[in-house]
């Protein structure tokens, strides 16, 4: 069966920190699903994009339906100091656009990573950004809890080598592998539920 996949968001969605897309989130997902699905993917991601900028970018795309959407936003909102309430409004608009304009079957929202472990951030900034990321993740949990088509995917990254890219800020191949494995498992679970209902 065909699977129409959209990956939307920031530099992590774009694959910064991986030498090739096959090692990035997109490649990990396509590889994990290719044996059972004909994956038609669209990657719309830009380094530095906040949630509002990702929303503006999405608004420029022609309407097209997607079975699965994976988002990666929030880190740039945290570093830009965007308030939690304002960020929540941007997320609501983003999710609404995906459901109404792009008929998203399932939206898997990636939680913010553990920024308190980013080597590129000096202390106490690293601690503060970790607190900001945790606050935005709590907001996501509350926001997504009431919609069965939306799901927060939180990855508790291990401490293995290769987790963080050499810049000390972006995911490395190890992080993309862990992230992709968890997202692919959630996708399969949702698609199997849909198949059982059908």
The answer to whether the beta carbons of residues 74 and 136 sit under 8 Å apart is: yes
What pTM, to 2 d.p., does this model score?
0.93
pLDDT digits (tens, 9 = 90+) for 136-145: 999 999 999 9
Confidence of residue 76 (pLDDT cuts 50, 70, 90): very high
Asked if pLDDT for residue 195 goes beyond 80, the answer is no
Provide mean pLDDT across the span 7-12.
96
Asked if pLDDT for residue 196 goes beyond 90, the answer is no
Provide mean pLDDT across the span 35-42.
94
Residue 155 zone, left/alpha/beta (φ > 0; ψ -120 to 50; rest): beta
For residue 67, the number of C-alpha atoms closer than 13 Å in the C-beta half-sphere is 15
* Joined tokens for residue 121: 């951030």
Round to whole Å and give the CA distance between 166 and 187: 30
pLDDT at 157: 75
pLDDT at 194: 64
pLDDT at 159: 67
pLDDT digits (tens, 9 = 90+) for 145-187: 988 999 999 987 776 656 888 876 778 888 999 999 999 999 9
């Amino acid at each position: 069966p065909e699977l129409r996949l959209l990956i939307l968001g920031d530099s992590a969605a774009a694959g910064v920190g991986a030498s090739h897309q096959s090692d990035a989130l997109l490649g990990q997902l396509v590889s994990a699903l290719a044996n059972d699905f004909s994956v038609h993917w669209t990657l719309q991601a830009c380094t530095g994009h906040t949630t509002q900028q990702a929303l503006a970018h999405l608004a420029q795309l022609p309407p097209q339906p997607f079975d699965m959407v994976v988002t990666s936003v929030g880190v740039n909102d945290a570093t830009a100091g965007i308030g939690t309430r304002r960020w929540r409004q941007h997320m609501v608009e983003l999710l609404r656009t995906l459901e109404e304009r792009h008929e998203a079957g399932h939206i898997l929202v990636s939680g913010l990573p553990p920024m308190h472990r980013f080597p590129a951030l000096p202390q106490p900034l690293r601690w503060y950004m970790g607190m900001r990321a945790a606050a935005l993740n709590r907001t996501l949990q509350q926001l997504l809890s009431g919609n069965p088509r939306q799901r927060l995917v939180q990855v508790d990254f291990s401490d293995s080598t290769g987790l963080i890219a050499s810049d000390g800020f972006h995911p490395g191949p190890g992080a993309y592998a862990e992230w992709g494995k968890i997202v692919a498992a959630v996708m399969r679970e949702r698609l199997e539920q849909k198949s059982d209902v059908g």
